[in-house]
Amino acid sequence: MSLREVENSSWTKPDKIYDCIVSGTGFAGICMAKKLLDSKIENFLVLEKENSVGGTWRDNTYPGAACDVQSHLYSFSFEPNPNWSRMFGLQKEILEYLNHCTDKFQIREKIKFNTTVLGIYFNESEGYYKVVTGDKIYFSKTFVSATGGLSRPKLPEIKGIENFKGKLFHSAKWDHSYDFKGKKVALIGTGASSIQILPELAKLNSNVKLFQRTAPWIIPKPDREITEQEKSIYRAFPLAQQAVRESIYWSLEYRVTGLVINPSLMKIFQKNGEDYINETISDPIIRKKVTPNYTIGCKRILMSNEYYQSLQKQNVNLITEKISEIKEKSIMTEDGIEHEVDLIIPATGFETSEALSPFEVVGEHGKSLNEIWLKNGAEAYLGSVVNGFPNFFLIVGPNTGLGHSSMVLMIEAQVKYATQCIKSILSKNWKSMNIKLESQFRYNLEISKKLSTSIWAESCNSWYIHRNGKNTTLWPGFTFEFANKTKTFDYDDFEIKTGNGEIYKSNVFDNIGNLVGSIF
């Protein structure tokens, strides 16, 4: 039976309807579950396709995996961790933190592991979703997609890749059983994962060929161990750690001035990247290869203290010629050279600019979210709600990505917004809450105008950009601006239907009540 056949069958009144179902257990899913519990909403379920929590920090276990935002800021505001070992958290430590939060806030008992959501379908007459998984069907008044933007690895579209007879695995699907000793390894891509992987591969007794399409801008990473004395101070005086968090926050937030408000300022910042190349790389040929041909900030700015150094090792070869074809045991480049390899590691990122849902989402009148987004590019109101899909909420939705700071800030803001909407739906017995098309259009027109004059409008083949030329990924502003916009929902932005299907007529006191509720 197809998903649509399942969707069209058995719309009889279910025995149990959850107040909310959440998909995913990364930062977004855990934060959402915590906020629901804080709001005394306990009739909910979290569905996780894997057998443990962690999202991208569970999946990306490649050597050198670490965060590029400081630990004190890349963590929940409600659960500071005084025991971070480094200024920038390692993958294992971040995963431990997420497990800690899951257990401390008693979220694990709400999670159903090994459960993949295949599709969700809205019942307009009753006002709830049918949630189809691999082994069971659930029903819920509201649904929150918290699967995140880095959950679906993207393989490169290279001729013949399916014919390769050696070993091949994506950087997000690392095979720790593979013996690298003496192997010829091809690392494809020079993004955030690749610049962490290369230094580790270079330390092994293997021959590494790094295939670069576009050189990234890289700056030194201000990383160091956090001393035991510092940890003791944070444990004894939490306000001291909060002060450090605030200082990090504002030091990163000022970057918006160059990225969005006045992109010409990025030319000044770019000199840091140019100086780093000149100071670190002695070989003029390599120096030329790694110098980007676009303004810093147009693509993601990366940080590393080892990448440039690794490129100069005897067992590492940087190749900038475009790959033309992959054969059974080799990679061909457009200059006609055949590179024999035993292993290919595509470090080619994730499906992001398309921003499609990993499962089918069907709303009012049989509308498919993925069909709409595939045609027009992903679009939402505040990256959180989409016209035609009532009672459906996104965390880390379109245009909520950041080029300068911690995504946890955006997650907490969106979770607060979604929770307030869900509380109103449940407490006021609304059948549906649907963002108006004009509200969504007006909002996206506003951010499109900001994006059109930002550094990201420069042509640099960025993964931020949808194939139709639309930036569907980034938030063009300060994070405190986004937090302010998501502080409370505006009744006038939504079409709300009451329990009997009538359109709810709001008044000025409704929005005043929302504002007061958001403060207290």
User: What pLDDT was estimated at residue 172?
Assistant: 93
Q: Are 435 and 279 in contact (CB under 8 A)?
A: no
User: What pLDDT was estimated at residue 357?
Assistant: 87
Distance of CA 317 to the CA centre of its chain: 31
User: What pLDDT was estimated at residue 1?
Assistant: 40
**Tens digits of residue pLDDT in 178-196:** 999 999 999 999 999 999 9
At CA 441, angle to CA 439 and CA 442, rounded to 5?
Answer: 65
User: What pLDDT was estimated at residue 367?
Assistant: 95
Q: Whole-angstrom Cα distance, residue 203 to residue 307?
A: 12
User: What pLDDT was estimated at residue 11?
Assistant: 59
Treating both helix axes as pointing N-terminal to C-terminal, what angle do 238-253 and 228-236 enclose, rounded to 10 degrees?
110
Treating both helix axes as pointing N-terminal to C-terminal, what angle do 407-427 and 27-38 enclose, rounded to 10 degrees?
40
Look up the pTM and report it. 0.94
How would you classify the pairing of strands 330-333 and 338-340? antiparallel
Q: Which residues contact 92 (CB under 8 A, 6 or more apart)?
A: none
Q: Look at residues 64, 55, 49, 67 and name the one whose alpha carbon lies nearest to residue 99.
A: 55
Please name the amino acid found at residue 303.
M
User: What pLDDT was estimated at residue 10?
Assistant: 56
User: What pLDDT was estimated at residue 253?
Assistant: 97
Q: Is the dihedral of CA 366, 381, 19, 506 positive or negative?
A: negative
The conformation of residue 475, written as its DSSP 8-state character, comes to -
Q: How many DSSP H helices and E strands does the chain contain?
A: 16, 20
Residue ranges, the chain, pLDDT below 50: 1
